[in-house]
Chain A
Amino acid sequence: MPPSATNLTNDEQMLLVNESLNTIRQQTIQMKKLLDVKGKSMESLKPASTLLSELRTSNLSPKNYYELYVSIYDSLEYLGNYLKDNYPSKNLSNLYELVQYAGNIIPRLYLMITVGTVFMSVPDAPVKEIMKDMIEMCRGVQHPIRGLFLRYYLSQRTKNLLPIFNDPANGTLQDSVNFIITNFIEMNKLWVRLQHQGHSKERKKRISERQELQILVGSNLVRLSQLEGVDKHYYKETILPAILEQIIQCRDMIAQEYLFDVIIQVFPDEFHLYTLRELLDSTISLIPQVSLKKILITLLERLTTYIDRESLDGIQALTINGKTDDEEGVEGDETAEKTHNKKILEKAEEKEATVTEGTATEESKTQTKDENIDVEALFNIFYSHFIKLNKVRPDLTIDDITALYYSLSKLSLSYYPDNFENVDLIYSETLNRYNELKDTVESSNALTEENLKNILLLPLNFSSLVSNDVSKKEKLNLKLLLNLKNYQSLLSAQSSKVQVSISNEILKTLLSNKFKLENEEQIEKVFQVLDSIISNKETITVAQDLKVEEINKRSENAGGEVNEYPYETSVKQENLAKLFHLIYNSNPIAHSKLLSTAQAFVSQKKNKLTKFLYPSLIFDYLKLIKRLHFRIGKVSQKSMNFSPELKSELIASYELELKSVFQKVSKLADELYNQGELELSLKLLISISETSNAIGNNGFTNEFFIKIYSIYEEMISSKQQYQIIMQLISTLITFYKSFQNGTNSDKENYDLLITKAVLYSARLLKKPDQCRAVFSASHLWFQSTVLASTDPSAPSTDASAEENDNKRILECLQKSLRIADSCIESSVTVELFVEILNECIYYYIHSNFIDANYINNLIELIKTNLSEVDDLPIKHFKRTCEYIARQKEIDERFQLVRY
């Protein structure tokens, strides 16, 4: 029969379990009955022993065995309580002997422990000897599972009975500690032994069995941590060395990993801080299969959260912010001390001297805090340990190393939020290690990548680590970023994929926090960090990915326009473009400089991204122009506090800046133009001209428009041309006012511009486009009339000029009619006619240079052609007629119109 459970299936085991449970139940009833009969209470030991024999089975898995254990525990507890209440305590020692006659060791020891613990609980019992005896006799059970449960029973039963006072007669704390540690050592041995018994093919099963049993072993450590009266010195001197020795000696992976974890979890943080060196040193002696990463990270995380938990408890010894609020009395002192501590943290060099002082005051107040020396050195301890690890454990893989460094940096940031040197150190070390291990398999696996990403994203996540204070969030993360000298080098060591994802992450955060970039340093850092997306590393990789996709999609896309950038990429570019909007400085001139700095970063790259970035940059410049303009206005208006010289100086500098910004903007547009982005460049120029118009600089406007025309002439696609012409016309219309208010040369320029526009309209390729452009252009001459009617203060144009304009309008209309007529398809012709009719009606309503006859003729013309056309123009015509009918009701002039 194999020593560990069993080849039985779980169902078979369940049958056994149920049988055993039945027996246990019956024997328990029997036992209780006998206990109630006077004078026969001793006979109750017999059923007790019988029910305990059920625990002798070898056929159950740990889980099923546990079921029996639980049931039996209850029975024995009943027995124990009965004995405690009813049995004369002076006879307990006899009873303790009596139960040892049981022939089988399992029932014997369970009974012994039951009676022994009852005995321990009575006054004046030889507690120490009983403890010693029980723990010694338990050695008789060498079967792993049975032994573990037996010793667990011992541990459970003695839980509240172990002496914690130093009473040499009845046992001391030392005895209790030895007791638990001995039990722990023996249990661990049994537990480890389980691994080495039975067939090697059942290894997996045994591992899972062991995991089911681990909590039994760990419970001893929990018990140790619950012992009252253990202070950290005692822990360091006595408890920890004993535990560690056993853990190291057992040379078993599961045990070492699990037990370290338990140590870290169950003992108080103060203990860990106090024994950190010992704990770390011992990890070196663990067997190589143990994941140091797991252990160390658990420890790091425990200590990291410690600082948070501490601050929740209100014992803030090391606070994140050294604010000296005006608190009173004791609290005031405390804050002062906080500041003091913080200073210590910052002054890394002069530590030694000040620390002792700081600790002294601390100690006097909260005794739990006297481990400050360790807190100070915490980072260094870990760091030097990691360095040591590199030497003694060359087998550590880069994914483990990076994970460790990530945790360490979190710890550092929690404890020393203002100490960036630590983190920087980690960055440089990480980089070193990464370079050393670059060629290993692990260096490119997902884990490593993930860890490195985490490390690099620290500046983003760290604020949430340290404090929940939202207001502080923004400042911290950039400050950290700015202070990490090695950030950039570590970042650029990564694969472009990683770089891009980090950059994107940072970018997203910056945007979502509406973080303001206020000085050049910040801009430089940010743009450096985002270098990977700016220099378009992603599109390279994306393009590679795309190739594959394209092959798949070729059939679908064959005819369609192939988009250069996939949708997702352009979203990312959009984010990047948004970045410019974050740049802000209250001083417009400084702001302009910042924008130039940013621009420099983008321009260097000279890649296609500019197409996405420049527009946004240009609009930022334009916004800046408006601000400058506004400033100028403000300064010149209410400038009582400025001396006139200063005032003019200011204005001059603003004007100068304004000019240079315009130059920059136009240069940007030129660059786009040079890159072949004609349409984009043209449209941007339109926006620029609008801005220059808005601030009343006709000269600039004119020039920009000339540029626009010159670009326009190079454009080939008629579709684009038509739309641009329309846009130009509408833009020009809005410029009318400022040009008319300007100098004579401005007016002339304007005339030139609009004439040119009409000329372009007439030169469009397609007839309908021509026609529509021309009649739209007619409005260019209609401005004076409109202004006169809407704005009485508008400059009165002389009648001749107006007549001249009206003539021009009529010419345009005539021309468009001709063009429409020359169209071959009658439907198109009629549609265009109807559209012209609408224009005429508009003019008819707003002025009187068109008479009703003109309209009637046009209507007649349409009607004659109506028979040969399809629905669309007919409907349009009908609607127009309906409109005329309605107009008749409100405008008697329309009575003259017939249809």
Chain B
Amino acid sequence: MSLFFKAPLDIEVRLSGEDTRKHVEVKNKNGRKEKLPLYEDGESVKGQVTIRVKDGRRVEHLGIKIQLIGTIDTNNDGLNFDNFLYLVQELSAPAELNHPENYSFEFKNVEKQFESYRGTNVRLRYYLKCIVLRKSADVIREKELWVYAKQNPPDTPTTVKMDVGIEDCLHIEFEYSKSRYSLKDVIVGRIYFLLVRLKIKHMELSLIRRETVGSGANQISDSQTLVRFEIMDGAPVRGETIPIRLFLRGYDLTPTFRDVNKKFSTRTFLSLVLIDEDARRYFKQSEIILYRD
């Protein structure tokens, strides 16, 4: 639309203190990185909208408003939008503009219960939408925000111990310090080799994010390996203990989301993979709970 009709107005949305606000780097659809201002749950969103008229023309409008929208876009069953947050403020009654005009806005203590997320088949986003209503086409300007939803640790930490193996072939026992980790945490653990008849070449740890969208017949899942981390080189013998230490802070991980607005979930699995000399892979996955603190 704007290709054919150049909008006669420029809308600029500026957040107050934007320069000093913390930004988050996220990849957009094209794989480019963009920086988005970071908000937390309950934080007010305020700022200023500046509208400039182009070429000194005079523009009539039917009113100006700004919306704060939280939405979940899914594409499991055709493109789908579901707003879980919708706030709006009138900035101006219908009037005529012939010079730049500033309008302040403020959404006070907005509840942002979900964390922003960009996945394969689903995204959850927050954005400001400023609309100048006109008889002809409205002029719209959007500005995306990024939200971190801090959580309390979901439960008390327990160590995870597992005993796995292939009969008469391999028997290992592994142990992680806990089942849930904050995103800044370190996974620490160890692996005991109780029986080794495989010719193991190396062993790695990977973190896999599984995103599930929808429910029932329409549900689709997508797994993505976010981290691959070699923890052992060569073949151990019986009785060896291999230490595990994986810093999480440096990776782009997503907290565990369960049924966000009944739309989607993201879970993270820790996978221990043994690769033998014939490149066969033996693995054991276990879910870990990630949370943001």
Binding site for B on A (CB under 8 A): 1, 3, 56, 97-98, 100-101, 103-106, 108, 136-137, 139-144, 146-147, 189, 193, 197
Contacts and interface: CB of A to CB of B under 8 A. Distances in A.
A100 B277 CA distance: 26
B240 A139 contact: yes
A142 B247 contact: no
A146 B242 contact: no
Interface residues of B, number: 21
Interface in B257-290: 277
B44 to A, nearest CB: 34
Given A3-B234, A105-B233, A142 B243 contact: no
B125 to A, nearest CB: 29
Interface in B228-257: 228-237, 240-243, 245, 247, 250
Given A3-B199, A140-B242, A101 B235 contact: no
Contacts of A103: 228-230
A552 to B, nearest CB: 63
Nearest to A106: B233
Given A103-B229, A103-B230, A105-B230, A140 B243 contact: yes
Contacts of A136: 243
Given A140-B242, A141-B233, 20 more contacts: A1-B201, A98-B250, A100-B247, A105-B230, A105-B233, A106-B233, A137-B243, A139-B240, A139-B241, A139-B242, A141-B234, A142-B234, A142-B236, A142-B242, A143-B235, A146-B233, A146-B234, A147-B233, A147-B234, A197-B235
A3 B231 CA distance: 17
Interface of B: 199, 201-202, 228-237, 240-243, 245, 247, 250, 277
B170 to A, nearest CB: 14
A98 B237 CA distance: 30
Contacts of A147: 233-234
Contacts of A137: 243, 245
B231 A140 contact: yes
Contacts of B241: 139
19 contacts: A1-B201, A98-B250, A100-B245, A103-B230, A105-B202, A105-B232, A106-B233, A108-B230, A136-B243, A137-B243, A137-B245, A139-B241, A140-B233, A142-B237, A142-B240, A142-B242, A143-B235, A144-B234, A189-B237
A140 B235 contact: no
Contacts of B201: 1
Contact of B233 (A1, A100, A142, A189): A142
Contacts of B237: 142, 189, 193
Q: Which of A3, A56, A103, A142 has the most CB of B within 10 A?
A: A142
Contacts of B229: 103
A142 B234 CA distance: 5
B234 A143 contact: yes
Given A104-B230, A139-B241, A97 B235 contact: no
A469 B130 CA distance: 110
Contacts of B230: 103-105, 108
A101 B234 CA distance: 20
Given A100-B245, A100-B247, A143 B233 contact: yes
Given A1-B277, A3-B199, A193-B237, A140 B232 contact: yes
B240 A3 contact: no
Contacts of A197: 235
Nearest to A197: B235
A142 B250 contact: no
Contacts of B236: 142
A802 B228 CA distance: 134
A105 B247 CA distance: 14
A570 to B, nearest CB: 69
Nearest to A136: B243
B61 to A, nearest CB: 49
A197 B201 CA distance: 13
Given A1-B277, A3-B199, A139 B243 contact: yes
Contacts of A56: 233
A142 B245 CA distance: 16
A-B residue pairs, 8 tightest by C-beta: A143-B234, A142-B234, A142-B236, A105-B230, A141-B233, A104-B230, A101-B250, A105-B233
A144 B234 CA distance: 8
Contacts of B242: 139-140, 142
B250 A141 contact: no
Contacts of B202: 105
A197 B228 CA distance: 28
Given A139-B242, A142-B240, A142-B242, A101 B247 contact: yes
Contacts of B243: 136-137, 139-140
A3 B237 CA distance: 13
Contacts of B233: 56, 105-106, 140-143, 146-147
A97 B230 CA distance: 16
Q: Which of B201, B229, B230, B242 has the most CB of A within 10 A?
A: B230
